[in-house]
Amino acid sequence: MTKTVADLQIGEKGIIEHVCLNDIPLKLLEMGCMPGKEVEMVQIAPFNDPLYIIVNGSHIAIRKEVAEIIKIETDKILCDIIKSK
């Protein structure tokens, strides 16, 4: 099963592998949340929602439902490959 941003633990990082261009809110893309960018989980609010992340240098909070559509890769070696692409 592929991981999504919603699966990250606090302090954990991952690389965005895929966002479905039809589902993701334009505003999130405009904030720089797009494939190849690194995401870091900063804080998870009580009741596990919303999530406070850093992506592409932007510190933003998003709801879990949106985080679940951003697929990520957390494997270190694979991350390096995606980054270098």
Partner 1 sequence: MRHNKIKVALVGNPNTGKTSLFNQLTGLNQKVGNYPGITVDKKQGKCKLSETVTATITDLPGTYSINPNTIDESIVLETLINKDNEDYPDIVLVVAEVDNIKRNLFLFSQIKDLDIPTVLVINMSDQMKRKGISIDVELLEQELKTDVVLISARKNIGIDALKKALLHPKYKKTEALAVYSKRMDVDFFTKVATELKNHSLYKAWLLITQCNDLSAFPKQEQVAIEKFREDENKLARLQHKETVLRYAKINDILKKTYKVDQQKATTLRARLDKVLTHRIFGYVIFVAILMLIFQSVFDFAQIPMDYIDSGFAQLSNWTTSKLPKGMFTNLLTEGIIPGIGGILIFIPQIVILFLFVAILEETGYMSRVVFLMDKIMRRFGMSGKSVVPLISGTACAIPAIMAARNISGIKERLITILVTPFTTCAARIPVYAIIIALVVPNERYYGFNLQGLTLMVLYLIGFVSAIVSAYILHKILKVTNKSHFIIEMPNYKLPSIKNLVVTILEKTKAFVFGAGKIILAISVVLWFLASNGPSSSFGKANEIVAKEIKLDGINLSESEQQQKIASYKLEHSYIGILGKTIEPAIKPLGYDWKIGIALISSFAAREVFVGTLATIYSVENEDDTTGIKQRMQAEINPETGKKRFDFPTGISLLVFYAFAMQCMGTLAVVKRETNTWKWPLYQLFGMTAMAYLFAFITYQVLS
Q: Please report, as ranges, the residues that interact with partner 1 according to CB under 8 A.
A: 21-22, 24-32, 34, 42-43, 45-47, 49-50, 52, 56-63, 66
| Shortest Å, Cβ 55 to partner 1 | 10
Shortest CB 54 distance to partner 1, Å? 9
Which of 46/77 has CB closer to partner 1? 46
Q: Which two tokens stand for residue 9?
A: 């633990």
Question: Which residues does 52 contact at the CB level (< 8 Å), separation at least 6?
Answer: 41, 42, 43, 44, 45, 59, 60, 61
Q: How far is the CB of 42 from partner 1 (least distance, A)?
A: 6
Q: What are phi and psi of 40, to 5 degrees?
A: -125, 135
Residue 32 DSSP SS3: coil
